[in-house]
Amino acid sequence: MRIDPSETGSQRIKRFNGGQLDSSSFTLPDHDIHLWEVFTSAYANRVDELRSSLPDLEMRKAGRFYFKKDKIRFIVAHAMLRRIIASYLTIPPLRISFIADQNGKPHLKPCCASKFLFFNISHSHNLIVFAFSRNRRLGVDVEHVRSMPGMDEIIKGSFHPAEREALKTMEFYERRHAFYDCWTRKEALIKATGEGLRRPLDSFAVSVDRPKNQAASYVNTHQINGESWALFSFRPAPEYSGALAVST
């Protein structure tokens, strides 16, 4: 377990990998934020085991995927979500129920927990990231850093003018990594607020500065819809970029 210093006042960000769930039980203190990082390749031989944590409805959804890798990712993501929550709440995974809000963002049904539990999920390529908090709304986003055809067109069409100006001064390799850092920060914010793409990505600006290490490092604070959100970047693995937005 890694404990990363943060600038969220009394909040602490702790990071875990999926394998730790097999050997320990976990609690989520009020002032902690947990990030879980799970690689689907580590569970390719455990899919049958994970199926036991999923209700029939979610298994039917898994069965609709055409490609095997997409089916495995769905099963791993939904089974691990249930297992992590079950560890926090000390209830069986199949006892957990979800409900979507008016924006389609999933939440725990009140019957499942005696205390609030906020969560968010993101996945890219071979990695799934889960974020949890007892008392802070949050959003998380992760992206596999790769060649992106049309990257400059995306920057022109979806990024704020201040972001475009900062990115255009960079060399290609640096700009590609900064692009994903910027993208994940913007996505994490709109996922945290619950607005999703109803809020245009070019309507607000985030920093394009790259994090100095893999730890969850504070970027800055944003005011959106009269609320304050702390924004962090982290490196879940080489060639991945991640961001976390947390209400303050």
pLDDT digits (tens, 9 = 90+) for 178-197: 999 999 999 999 999 988 77
Question: What is the widest separation between alpha-carbon atoms in the chain?
Answer: 52
In this predicted structure, the answer to whether residue 120 has a pLDDT above a threshold of 90 is: yes
Q: How confident is the model at residue 222 (pLDDT cuts 50, 70, 90)?
A: confident
Tell me if 224 sits within 8 A of 201, measured CB to CB. no
Domains of the chain: 2-136 (3.90.470.20), 141-247 (3.90.470.20)
pLDDT digits (tens, 9 = 90+) for 14-69: 999 998 988 777 889 988 999 999 999 999 899 999 999 999 999 999 999 999 99
For helices 151-158 and 161-168, give the axis angle rounded to 10 degrees: 150
pLDDT at 8: 47
What is the pLDDT at residue 11?
A: 64
Q: Name the amino acid, one letter, at 38.
A: V
So what's the pLDDT on residue 56?
95
Element housing 99 (H / E): strand 98-100
pLDDT of residue 213: 63
pLDDT at 3 over 50: no
At residue 188, the pLDDT reads 95
Whether the predicted pLDDT of 2 surpasses 90:
no
pTM of this structure: 0.91
Residue 142 has pLDDT above 50, yes or no: yes
Q: Within its chain, how far is the Cα of 193 from the centroid?
A: 13
